[in-house]
Amino acid sequence: MADPINTHANHKNHIVARMPTWDTLLRILGSFIIGAFSASFLLGGKSRDVSDMLTFKGEATAEFRKINDRFEQLNQQGTNKSRWTDDNQTLEITANRAALLELGHKVDSNGALIGVIQSKIERMESELKDIENRPRK
């Protein structure tokens, strides 16, 4: 009776018929070697790129750390210009306070004099009004 799936009469011939030839095996092996060789170049280049990127990242991190430390120093201590400006402003404020105190003492001591001068001005204004209101001859 003939097997509908297996057209070959015996099992040994069936296995031999399915075996690839040496030519096919060599082509598969050659394709694998060429693929492995190409993959090694591709992965080697990518690993070099990754190592270069990691080196750059390390250098950039070190630079950013230096910049950050400098900014922290500027935040804590200020710049030379800000220190000079603060010193100049402090001197100006001190001078202005002294001048205001001196002016305050003068106003206190001359307060009575200002009142006298004001009353004299008012009296002179009233006399001028009287003169203007007099009938002319």
Residue-wise pLDDT for 17-40, tens only, equals 567 788 888 999 999 999 998 888
Which range (13-17, 95-99, 132-136) has the least confidence?
Answer: 13-17
Which range (30-34, 54-58, 117-121) has the least confidence?
Answer: 117-121
CB of 16 within 8 A of CB of 22?
no
Helix (H) or strand (E) holding 32: helix 22-77
- What is this structure's pTM? 0.33
Q: How confident is the model at residue 69 (pLDDT cuts 50, 70, 90)?
A: very high
Q: Which residues contact 78 (CB under 8 A, 6 or more apart)?
A: 86
